Amino acid sequence: LLDILKKSAPSRIINVGSAAHRMGKIDFEDLQNKNKKGRFFRLYGSSKLALTLVSYELSRKLEGSHVTVNVIHPGLINTKLGRDRSSTRTGFANKFLKSPEVGAETSIFLASSAEVEGITGKYFAKKKEKPSSKESYNQEYAKRLWEISLEMTKL
């Protein structure tokens, strides 16, 4: 797929992250959480932190290729994710949930707007560039996750 994106450049890769990445931690000793440590939201945050780190690493690797890579936070969306968790489905929580259509606005903006043409390695929320967590800029972690991913996928 990457070769096709390069050949058809300018191209855009948009990864759907989450502000929950700010609560995540990368445990290189147990990346797949085989020890079953942590609660759902912390684990979700860790997966989104890993996604953000690897997205930034991919943007560096594709520098000069006219393929951009960015991460978006769609906001809290009214989906079925966590539907069995009563605390996330209270009337109070539902007041803060966006429709899937509203949640898709930043993705659509990044996919189609001339305003962001050529912008890469950034984090967006509400159609604006925002800083991601301090941990998400750790290039040593990003490179290490990249290498582990290559090993695990045998690429």
Q: Which residues contact 7 (CB under 8 A, 6 or more apart)?
A: none
Of 44, 56, 123, 141, which one is the catalytic site residue?
44
Q: CA-CA distance, 105 to 107, in Å (whole number)?
A: 5
Q: What are phi and psi of 129, to 5 degrees?
A: -70, 135
Q: What is the DSSP letter of 90?
A: S
- The answer to whether 44 is a known catalytic residue is yes
Q: Which amino acid is at 150?
A: L
Is residue 17 within 8 A of residue 55, CB to CB? The reply is yes
Distance separating alpha carbons of residues 141 and 147, to the nearest angstrom = 10
Any idea which residues carry the catalytic annotation? 44
